[in-house]
Amino acid sequence: MSTRLQARAPRKRLTAAARREVIELAAMDVFAERGYHGAAMDEIARRSGVTPPVVYDHFESKPALHRRLLDRTRDDLLAMWRENLGGDGTLEQQIAQAFDAWSRYVEANPYAPRMFFRETTGIPEVRAMHREIAAEANDALAEILSGLPGSAHLQAEGAPLALAMAAEVIRGGLTELAIWWSEHPEVSREQIVATAMNTVWVGFERVSGGETWRPSSRRPVRGQRLRLGTEHVSRLTAL
């Protein structure tokens, strides 16, 4: 056997963008596992295969890195909503598809329920940053909802903020569901999607058809609402 050393192929140098991607992915894992305060830049560097100064070349501080991860997660989720709520199929199929894609994202990205969907740092500057990103996400989701069939019924009778409120209800409900799921991993993804559909879709379907809730003095005929309610109770039972 030859004792001559085998020449090693030169290691390919990553571009700055590729290196930044490696750091971000490693950081998401570390933040998800250890939380904000437990996440060390040295550990993120080690998992990225670089030295800490290289991490700081890309992100000047841990808050700056966390901000980038929050922005990234927001953008990923909004892209997911746009892709699934703007395609073919019935409105029910689009929403079911969107909830399925959302659940897959949450399942594959523990950073989302542990860091993006809730603020755990207690640091005023980071809390303010988190609120700002959540508000941006809600505004964008309201815009997406405005393009769905029947969404105009939500804005009827001089309620210009109705879509923003609806987006907050949906986003807030799914946020809490994701957090709950992260604490109950034994629950199947299919159950999570079914729960989201039963809670959100049934109401949105009725609104998209022109039926909206009114105070008791202005409600539709009671018999009509009772029949609709019975139909939906049957559908819920079947699910």
Which residue type sits at 44?
A: I
Burial of 8-40, coded b for 16+ CB within 10 Å and e otherwise, reads: eeeeeeeeeeebbeebbebbbbbbbeeebeebe
Task: Give the C-alpha separation, 164 to 153, whole Å.
Answer: 13
Domain ranges of the chain: 14-60, 75-238
What is the per-residue pLDDT across 115-144, written as a single tens digit (0 to 9) for each? 999 999 999 999 999 999 999 999 999 898
CATH 1.10.357 assigned to domain 75-238? The reply is: yes
Write down the pLDDT at residue 216: 64
- Which pTM value belongs to this model? 0.79
| Domain 14-60 fold | Arc Repressor Mutant, subunit A (1.10.10)
Q: Which of 59-63, 106-110, 143-147, 188-192 has the lowest mean pLDDT?
A: 143-147
| Token pair of 150 as six digits | 């029947």
